[in-house]
Amino acid sequence: RVPVLTWYNRASGAPICRSSQPHAGLTDKVMAEDEASLMHLRAATSRTNAGRLLADSFDDDGRGAPATPGKDDGDSDDDSATLEFLDIANIHGMQESFRVLREALGAPDEGDGVYRAVHDSRWLNHVSLLLRGAVAVADHSAGGDPVLVHCSDGWDRTAQVCGLAQFLLDPYCRTIDGFGVLVEKDWCAFGHMFRERGGFGSDPQQETGPIFLQFLDAVSQIMWQCPTACEFTEEFLEVLADAERSRWFANFLRDSDRDRARENSGSPRGPGRTPRGAARPRPEENDEAVSIWRVFAFQRDRFSNALYDRDGATALRPNASLQALRLRPSYLHAEDVSPEVAALRARIRALEAERAGDDDGFHDSDAGFHDARAPRSPQLE
């Protein structure tokens, strides 16, 4: 729960940090260590009169959580800190919203009934709140205020808001390579539980949630309003959404870098060879999965936006109102995809069939992939 720097705004000198919910202790006593860590945020900025934004991702139901040290809903001895609730629902609210939305999109067309069901899902309301939170964080950062974004555990709503704020502020994050760095850093390295949220964990009924998908949907909304701002296309996001669901790519198989390192450090099982006639395990069971970024490196031109303006606006400020958003069924309804995504799925199925009869296992060369790692952002060095 210690605040960690995730991005530094060189233009304003303000850091964006993230953490889980700062606690006040079992007896509701403010802990000096937590208070000191928040004071260090202000000390880290170059602006002498900078305030601090404490962006609490909780919704109304989460406001009974332990108070943030140095600031609460009422009075505070530290007037330099602004606590802003972003009102983003937790995974259970998102899970129910997504369930209702998927049912609406999958139902036979019955006129107004479909629109009513989509409205009742409140999916776009959630996306609107997410974008509003990201815009607030970006505005404070651009103004020179250090920001701490937090939620209960620090790997769901926190990842969404921090990732979107950087996407708005840093043009590098809007390139193909830079978006890969952003996902690897704020999602994979910070421990978003892809396995649990995808329904492959120990409690699939309680811990699932379309958190990463919702992040991609929010990015799509920004791209729709700013069509020349991104190097990549909508199909790029569709492939990422499909990659998370497919369980075929190493980036999204585990819940943390520690789990991924354990699997890659030479487990007793190891990738090995599968005896003839035995069922081939999925990649998550024997470490034969490849990185999704290899797919994009191999087919870069295919996912490049012809309208991309490399010298365009440095920072983006999209309209986050509900009226400015639109539904993008291809992310949310698995059967409604672009030809590019359909072709990639067909290729994955072909590779799976090849592997079933290949005693020597899977080789990257079979897929036409090559090693390619996204360069680090200058902002992160």
Residues catalogued as catalytic: 151
Helices (H), 170-278: 176-183, 194-197, 211-225, 234-246, 257-264
Sequence-separated (6 or more) residues with CB below 8 Å from residue 170? 7, 178, 377, 379
- The reply to whether 17 sits in an annotated binding site is no
- The reply to whether 151 sits in an annotated binding site is yes
Tokens linked to 21: 């919910």
* C-beta of residue 216 within 8 angstroms of C-beta of residue 243: no
Q: State the burial class of residue 304 (Cβ atoms within 10 Å of its Cβ: 0-12, 13-18, 19+).
A: middle
CA distance 150 to 148: 6
- The reply to whether 188 sits in an annotated binding site is no
- The reply to whether 155 sits in an annotated binding site is yes
- The reply to whether 156 sits in an annotated binding site is yes
- The reply to whether 152 sits in an annotated binding site is yes
* C-beta of residue 333 within 8 angstroms of C-beta of residue 217: no
- The reply to whether 198 sits in an annotated binding site is no
* C-beta of residue 345 within 8 angstroms of C-beta of residue 115: no
- The reply to whether 90 sits in an annotated binding site is yes
CA distance 222 to 224: 5
- The reply to whether 76 sits in an annotated binding site is no
Binding residues: 90-91, 151-157
Which residues participate in the annotated binding site for substrate? 90-91, 151-157
